Amino acid sequence: MSIYKNKLVMMKRIVKSLMCGFVVLLSFNAQAQQDPQYTQYMYNPLVINPAYAGNRGVTSILMLHRSQWVGLDGAPRTQNLTVHSPIGLGKVGLGFSLVNDALGPARETYFNADFSYTIETGMEGKLSFGLKGSLNLLDVDFARTNPFNAGDPFLINIDNKLSPNVGVGIFYHNEKFYGGLSAPQLLQTNHFDRSGTQTAETFVAEERIHYYGLAGYVFDLSSDVKFKPSTLVKMVAGAPLAVDVNANFLFYDKLTLGASYRWSAALSGLVGFQISDGLLVGFAYDRESTELGNATYNDGTYEVFLRFELFKEYDRMLTPRFF
């Protein structure tokens, strides 16, 4: 019986190590340290596009949590806080976002400041230009993976390395349509170790440039029902093109129900409720459409957000904004 227990313990350690190794592989090789992804991106464009700062016309505060591939050790977890508001006459927008992203042995924190300037392009249309300044704090500790050989020379830690970055974006909207293009981090950062030799460099992680395109439209199906399709496209070297297609229905300006498909990756269900003029809560559940989705250790991905907005009597929205 003791031999059986020892074998069972060993098998559990092997499975855990394989799972951690799988997540590490996704993190540093396949995904090339991609930025965090969001299913409910349409409610929080600021995190990827600085030109969105102030475009809701009021002070907007959003908090989001995302747990991906629940049940898999070391799977991605993301927390997000964004605050943005128009300044003065509304042509200038300022924003701030804090993102905490964990994946396997890596912990990365983003501190972002956003600036936008908006010009009118007609009776209803507005075009905004944005700049983003950021500081990224990266910590990689392979002891979190419980390795068999803690002295493995290929397991190179990164101790809270701070890297500055800059980004740009443009955003256009009117009462029914919105669209934007952005590159939130233009500087490509290589994290490496020179301790082995004086001539060789071992790359542990590489921050690559991400390009985003998003768009959406609002169709009035009736006085009480609105159809809100949207899409998000993400491009990064070394990774497949990521395309999200979303369809939301808004009922009585209160309840939102929808579904989303991430091309060759996941199918999602979304629900949102406008509790009051200034308070919106949303929830999304993703199920992988790949073989990973059929794994017994993967219970899917959960994402929840809360958006709170501060109104003044003279700038209260007469109708709800849909993005």
What's the pLDDT score for residue 277?
A: 85
DSSP track, 213-253: EEEEE-EESSSSEEEEEEEEEEEETTS--EEEEEEEEEETT
E strand or H helix at 82: strand 77-87
Six-digit token pair at 276?
């009051």
pLDDT for the residue 188: 79
Identify the structural domains of the chain with CATH numbers, from first to last: 45-186+208-310 (2.40.160.40)
Residues of the chain below pLDDT 70: 1-34, 143-155, 190-206, 292-296, 312-322
The tokens describing 24, both together, are 């590490």
What pTM, to 2 d.p., does this model score? 0.81
Q: Under a CB-based contact definition with an 8 Å cutoff, are residues 230 and 248 in contact?
A: yes
